[in-house]
Amino acid sequence: MNLLHIDSGILADHSVSRRLTAAIVTQVVADHPAARITYRDLVADPLPHLTGAHLMAANARPEDLDSQVSADLAASAAVLEEFLAADMVVIGAPMYNFALPSQLKAWIDRIAVAGKTFRYTENGPEGLAKGKKVIVASTRGGHYSSGPAAAMDHQESYLSTVLGFIGVTELEFVRAEGLNLSAASKAAAIASAEQTIAGFGNLKLAS
């Protein structure tokens, strides 16, 4: 089994999403000791955001590209291949200002590629990245999973949409929210998320 571990929290050792993705990966490895893990830290090694030059390069001759665009294309290809090769993907996705970290959005822009992870057909778009299980460690300072505040969630809702669009049908969120409300709320949220992870047990891959 190939496992791709993605972190995007900007708080280093203080990041709850990083703590949870580490716990998820530990649990997965306990169930699948032969798992091959690829780790990508989108903060320590950020991907550049998409540019017009990057998009136009897809139709350009390699010899016409400058070195920076060529390097960016090579990095993008490596990111896409990591994703395509993964049987399971564990993503740390904190909520910043109601949405994703821009570092994680840059990664998504590298894996949502027409002809590779989705295609347009006469019957509408079709996701091509099938057969993967994705687990997202979702962390939020407030409560956005229900009630009026749910309308402000452009984090989990976006991930559900874009991952579903490219063909991921087995998506699970491990959520810790209310982290910034109080010390007690933070402790309770982390404990609940870690209890969920501990209860995974014999985590199965996508069918």
Annotated binding site for FMN: 15-17, 95-98, 139-142
With beta carbons less than 8 A apart as the criterion, state whether 185 and 11 touch. Answer: no
Distance, CA of 135 to CA of 132 (rounded, Å): 10
Cα–Cα distances (Å) from 102 to 46, 74, 93, in that order, read: 10, 20, 10
Annotated binding-site residue numbers:
15-17, 95-98, 139-142
Q: Which residues contact residue 29 at a Cβ distance below 8 angstroms, ignoring those fewer than 6 apart?
A: 3, 35, 37
Residue 183, classified by CB atoms within 10 Å of its CB into exposed (0-12), middle (13-18) or buried (19+), is exposed
Cα–Cα distances (Å) from 88 to 1, 35, 37, 203, in that order, read: 8, 10, 10, 10
Distance, CA of 136 to CA of 20 (rounded, Å): 9
Q: DSSP state, 204? A: P
Cβ count within 10 A of residue 186: 18
